[in-house]
Amino acid sequence: MAAEGLQVTGLVAGWGDTVIVEDVSFDVPAGGRLAVLGRNGVGKTTLFSALTGIARRRSGSIILGETDLTRTRTFERALSGLGLVPQTRDIFRSLTVEENLLAGLKRRPRSALAEAYQLFPRLAERRSNQGEHLSGGEQQMLSIARAILGEPTCLLLDEPLEGLAPVICDQLMTALDALALSGRMTIVLIEQQIRRAIDFADWIIILERGRIVWSGEADELNASPETIERTLGVAAMH
């Protein structure tokens, strides 16, 4: 499958009667890389929940490729090509690595597992280990690998580097680079490691109180340390 663009227009969403995301619009072309940045609690995860149909959408539209996902249910969005790697990872802890991966195959043949093992050789070494016995980095690799086996045309990743050692972060970002370069999927990334996110992305949006306060090319943000400091805080750069 080939990557598809993601177009979000005027999205307003939240939980119950509380609006968290307000008038968010962005357009990622097929195969593009977008990073969603912002301090904690500004609505980044709620944005992803709205895109996947979990949070309540009040207005706005969500288009993946040529498919209007706006009023579809969560499982229909997944079938249409929208994949999610949640911040909580959500692996099956009592199942082995291989059993977890098999659960992500959907209707694909078992031989497709080779894709996951090629992307993350460490998982091949631990294919018989239960999820609960994996390190945090290995669990994240497993969560990403399981998601990509479903062949999403657009993959949402919610803070995939959280709490991981720098060497594991390097391995994960190398894998994400390979996925992006393959042309198989568009990638939208939420990440608190600002430098890694800027280096990875083509485009950036920065949220504050549920609204976009800055958007543009990653190179433009990289050249503006004052914007980074104003919108994200100095500490976010370390």
Q: Please provide the CATH number assigned to the domain covering 6-89+153-237.
A: 3.40.50.300
Strands 18-28 and 6-15: antiparallel
Tell me the pLDDT tens digit for each residue of 97-151.
Answer: 999 999 999 889 999 999 999 999 999 999 999 999 999 999 999 999 999 999 9
Tell me the pLDDT tens digit for each residue of 56-69.
Answer: 999 999 999 999 99
41: exposed, middle or buried (Cβ count in 10 Å: 0-12, 13-18, 19+): exposed
For residues 21 and 212, is the Cβ–Cβ distance under 8 A?
no
The whole-model pTM stands at: 0.94
Tell me the pLDDT tens digit for each residue of 7-50.
Answer: 999 999 999 999 999 999 999 999 999 999 999 999 999 999 99
- pLDDT tier at 234, thresholds 50, 70, 90: low
